[in-house]
Structure 1
Amino acid sequence: MAAASSKDVRLQTQIILEGEKPQITHCDKNSTLTEISQFPKAKRILEDYMEKCEEEGYPIFKEEPELIQNMHNTTPLRWLMMLSGGHFTGEMMEKVLENCR
């Protein structure tokens, strides 16, 4: 098929890619909380942090459980520092990343 531009090319058939999702072998500050949770030690650190937030009564953790689940699926680790108002520190982020192995 020849076309003057990509706008001229129209999808002719549906394409389905099959295969396994690649295994995550490392994490960085842009990894999502879900990706990081694949590493048991790093997951435990995040769970401890979330439990501490609940105990200290951060309203978002008690009043918005659906938001927290969505955050877990889409939020990069680096955003926790901003979203936590300083409660999740750079040291904590480094500790999580060190345990993503």
Structure 2
Amino acid sequence: MKRKVSFRRIADSALASAEMIVQRWLPDGRREGREWVAINPTRSDGKKGSFKINLQTGCWSDFATGSAGGDIVSLAAYLHNLKQGEAAIRVAAMLGIDPYE
């Protein structure tokens, strides 16, 4: 029997550690109010400002390209070129939690 990935629980746990996670993945960024502002490592971006992650909601966007997502798991998928399930499992492992329901 295939076990189901607990996306919501993983996303909620990741949100509680959002600042630590984005500092690890986007170390060149900086906090500006409720957001982490960084250079998007998936494209040739020379300056900070267009790639932002809301640390309270987990929503993120690259305003230069229109890429966006609603949580830290989707950010992991985007940054590391993973499918959502793979990203959720990796984020869960990073947080030390069981990825399955």
Name the TM tier (shorter chain): 0.3 to 0.5
Give the helix-richer structure, 1 or 2: 1
Give the strand-richer structure, 1 or 2: 2
Provide TM-score, normalisation by structure 2: 0.36
Provide TM-score, normalisation by structure 1: 0.36
Higher relative contact order (CA 8 A, sep 6+): 1
